[in-house]
A and B are shown apart, each in its own frame.
Chain A
Amino acid sequence: MAFVLWAVATILFLIFRLMPGNPLAAYIDPTFTEEQQAALIARFGLDKSLFEQYLLYLWNLMQGQLGDSFFYRQPVGSLILQVLPNTLVLALGSLIVAYIIGVIAGAYLAWKRGTWIEGLGIPVVLTTRAAPEFWVGMVLLAVFSFSFGWFPAGGASSPGAEFDGYLDLYLSWDFLSHLFLPALTLAIYFHGLPLLLMRSNMLDVMNEDFVTMARIKGLSEFSVVVRHGARNALLPVMTSFAFAVGYQMQGSVVVETVFSWPGLGRMLVGAVSAGDYALAQGAFLLIAAVVVVMNLVADLLYGVLDPRVSHA
Chain B
Amino acid sequence: MPDASVAGARPGLGAGRRPSAVGRAFRALKIPVGDPFAVIGLVIYAVFVLVAIFADQLATHDPLEILFTEDYQLAADQPAFGEFVLGTTNLGRDIYSQMIYGTRSALIVGLAAAAAVVVVGTLVGLFAGYMGGWVDRVLMRLADIAFGIPFLPFVIVLAAFLEPSIWNVVLAMALILWRDTGRVVRSQVLTLRSRAYVEAARVSGSGSLKIVFRHIAPNVLPLSLLYGSISIGWAILTEASISFLGFGDANAVSWGYMLQDAYASQALSRGAYHWFLPPGLCIVLVVVAGFFISRGYEEVLFPRLRS
Q: If the complex has contacts A7-B145, A138-B280, A250-B151, are A130 and B241 also in contact, measured as CB distance less than 8 A?
A: no
Are A138 and B276 in contact (CB-based, < 8 A)? yes
Give complex CA distance A130, B230 in Å.
Answer: 10
Q: Is B157 an interface residue (CB 8 A)?
A: yes
Q: A129-149 CB contact bits vs B (8 Å, 1 = yes)?
A: 111111100110110011100
Give complex CA distance A22, B241 in Å.
Answer: 27
| Interface set, chain B 262-307, CB cutoff 8 A to A | 262-263, 267-269, 271, 273, 276-277, 279-280, 283-284, 287-288, 290-292, 295, 307
Are A254 and B283 in contact (CB-based, < 8 A)? no
Q: Is A83 an interface residue (CB 8 A)?
A: no
Which candidate, A88-96, A163-171, A233-241, A284-292, is the interface stretch facing chain B? A284-292
Are A135 and B259 in contact (CB-based, < 8 A)? yes
Q: If the complex has contacts A126-B291, A132-B240, A254-B245, are A5 and B271 also in contact, measured as CB distance less than 8 A?
A: no
Are B156 and A253 in contact (CB-based, < 8 A)? yes
Q: Is A103 an interface residue (CB 8 A)?
A: no
Q: Which residue in chain A gives the minimum CB-CB distance to B233?
A: A130
Are A5 and B157 in contact (CB-based, < 8 A)? no
Give complex CA distance A5, B149 in Å.
Answer: 9
Q: Which residue in chain B gives the minimum CB-CB distance to A268?
A: B153
Are B276 and A139 in contact (CB-based, < 8 A)? yes
Are A135 and B152 in contact (CB-based, < 8 A)? no
Q: B142-160 CB contact bits vs A (8 Å, 1 = yes)?
A: 0011011111111011101
Q: Is A219 an interface residue (CB 8 A)?
A: no
Among B145, B241, B290, the residue within 8 A (CB) of A254 is: B241
Min CB distance A170 to B, Å, is 25
Q: Is B37 an interface residue (CB 8 A)?
A: yes
Q: Which residues of B contact A127 (CB under 8 A)?
A: 284, 288
Interface size class of chain A, counting residues whose CB lies under 8 Å from the partner chain: 35 or more
Give complex CA distance A130, B144 in Å.
Answer: 26
Q: If the complex has contacts A114-B307, A142-B271, A288-B148, are A280 and B157 also in contact, measured as CB distance less than 8 A?
A: yes
Are B150 and A130 in contact (CB-based, < 8 A)? no
Q: Which residue in chain B gives the minimum CB-CB distance to A284?
A: B153
Are B276 and A7 in contact (CB-based, < 8 A)? no
Q: Which residues of B contact A249 (CB under 8 A)?
A: 150
Are A287 and B153 in contact (CB-based, < 8 A)? yes
Q: If the complex has contacts A127-B284, A138-B276, A138-B280, are A132 and B241 also in contact, measured as CB distance less than 8 A?
A: yes
Give complex CA distance A254, B151 in Å.
Answer: 12
Q: Which residues of B contact A269 (CB under 8 A)?
A: 156, 245
Are B150 and A288 in contact (CB-based, < 8 A)? yes
Q: If the complex has contacts A135-B280, A141-B268, are A15 and B244 also in contact, measured as CB distance less than 8 A?
A: no
Are B145 and A8 in contact (CB-based, < 8 A)? yes
Are A272 and B156 in contact (CB-based, < 8 A)? yes
Max chain A CB contacts within 10 Å: which of B147, B150, B151, B263?
B150
Q: Is A120 an interface residue (CB 8 A)?
A: no
Are B148 and A291 in contact (CB-based, < 8 A)? yes
Give complex CA distance A265, B290 in Å.
Answer: 28
Give complex CA distance A129, B259 in Å.
Answer: 18
Are B287 and A130 in contact (CB-based, < 8 A)? yes
Are B237 and A123 in contact (CB-based, < 8 A)? no
Q: Is A297 an interface residue (CB 8 A)?
A: no
Are B157 and A15 in contact (CB-based, < 8 A)? yes
Min CB distance A9 to B, Å, is 10
Q: If the complex has contacts A7-B145, A254-B241, are A19 and B161 also in contact, measured as CB distance less than 8 A?
A: yes
Q: Is B246 an interface residue (CB 8 A)?
A: yes
Q: If the complex has contacts A7-B145, A249-B150, are A134 and B244 also in contact, measured as CB distance less than 8 A?
A: yes
Are A251 and B152 in contact (CB-based, < 8 A)? yes
Q: If the complex has contacts A114-B307, A135-B276, A142-B268, are A295 and B283 also in contact, measured as CB distance less than 8 A?
A: no
Are A250 and B153 in contact (CB-based, < 8 A)? yes
Max chain A CB contacts within 10 Å: which of B37, B158, B245?
B245
Are B153 and A139 in contact (CB-based, < 8 A)? no
Q: Which residues of B contact A253 (CB under 8 A)?
A: 152-153, 156, 241, 245
Are B288 and A126 in contact (CB-based, < 8 A)? yes
Which chain B residues have a beta carbon within 8 Å of chain A's beta carbons? 37, 141, 144-145, 147-154, 156-158, 160-162, 233, 237, 240-241, 244-247, 259, 262-263, 267-269, 271, 273, 276-277, 279-280, 283-284, 287-288, 290-292, 295, 307
CB-defined A-B contacts under 8 Å, sample of 25: A4-B145, A4-B147, A4-B148, A11-B145, A11-B149, A15-B158, A19-B161, A123-B37, A126-B292, A126-B295, A130-B287, A138-B263, A146-B269, A147-B271, A246-B150, A253-B245, A257-B245, A268-B156, A272-B247, A273-B247, A284-B153, A288-B149, A288-B153, A291-B150, A295-B148
Which chain A residues have a beta carbon within 8 Å of chain B's beta carbons? 3-5, 7-8, 11-12, 15-16, 19-21, 113-114, 123, 126-127, 129-135, 138-139, 141-142, 145-147, 153, 246, 249-251, 253-254, 257-258, 265, 268-269, 272-273, 280, 283-284, 287-288, 291-292, 295
Known: A129-B291, A292-B148. 4 other contacts (CB 8 A): A19-B162, A134-B259, A272-B160, A291-B148
